[in-house]
Structure 1
Amino acid sequence: MSPNLSSNLVPLTIIKGAGHEFIPLPQGQNATTADFHSVRTKTTESPAHFTSGFYKIEAGPQRPAHYNFEETKYVLSGQIDILDEATGITHHLVPGDFAFFHVGSKVKFSTKSQGFAFYAVTRPVRAPHPNLEGREEGKARL
């Protein structure tokens, strides 16, 4: 290891127990996002926020989204259907499938059952999910 690197070491952030069982849907809603970690990037020419969390959806009305940031979603369980309004194609994502949303993407999310995905976005935390706060290693009381 380079001597210069050792003086600039920063410890990892570990989130303990950040699973779907801690993410209830809001009253009267069939989908939610749960932001659980955000950081302002330091190594890019144009620093941006980098936020990650979970997306949960159950059967119900379509959930529209028009993106002014980039996002990736990786499906962990169930099925998430995404209508891409640019092409008119509905993609049926299942565990192991990955989607990338560009600035300007316009979609509608839905499912016939339920779906759960991990996401990473280039935006700050909108509202930290209360059931995930304080779950960083060293703070968690599991």
Structure 2
Amino acid sequence: MNKMSGIVPITVVKGAGAEFIPIPENSCATVADFHTTRTKTTESPTHITSGFYKITPGAPRTATYDYEESKYVLNGQIDILDEATGKTHRLVQGDFAFFHVGSKVQFSTKSAGFAFYVVTRPILVAHSNLQGREE
């Protein structure tokens, strides 16, 4: 930080894409959190974390939300069964989903999918291959 001007530099991460995110053995999906911050400008400060979601064919992955999430599909296809309605949504490149506190879903895919997300929680699973990629 330049103390004289109060200007803070940005952080750039090179090569944070799908090819650098390994899916754990015996699993078909993973999250890779790569940045978190604690808000200071809201009445109730919270964490804002961003990262990637990667899924391949396999057993559906259930998620129950005690935080909010916005997910934007970058490529491939991600199926989301909304347990509140029983409806399955097929998301493809360019589609967006918002998960409310209390949402319960099942994620699956017939091929593969890759999405960017922003959540209101601290880091759970740090992106394993970011060291040395910051500029």
TM-score class normalised by the smaller sequence: over 0.9
After TM superposition, the structure 1 = structure 2 runs for residues 36-115 of structure 1, keeping only pairs within 5 Å, are 36-115=34-113
CA-atom RMSD in angstroms: 1.2
Mapped to 2, the partners of 1:133 and 1:71 lie a distance apart of 25
Mapped to 2, the partners of 1:7 and 1:41 lie a distance apart of 22
TM-score normalised to the size of structure 1? 0.88
Mapped to 1, the partners of 2:132 and 2:49 lie a distance apart of 16
How big is the shift at 1:42?
1.6
Mapped to 1, the partners of 2:14 and 2:44 lie a distance apart of 30
Mapped to 1, the partners of 2:17 and 2:30 lie a distance apart of 14
Counterpart amino acid of 2:6? N
Mapped to 2, the partners of 1:27 and 1:95 lie a distance apart of 26
Counterpart amino acid of 2:123? V
Partner of 1:79, secondary structure, is strand
Match for residue 26 of structure 2 among 25, 28, 31: 28
Counterpart amino acid of 1:116? F
> Is residue 30–residue 61 contact of structure 1 (8 Å, CA) maintained in 2?
yes
TM-score normalised to the size of structure 2? 0.93
Unaligned 5+ segments in structure 1 are 1-5, 138-142
> Is residue 36–residue 133 contact of structure 1 (8 Å, CA) maintained in 2?
no
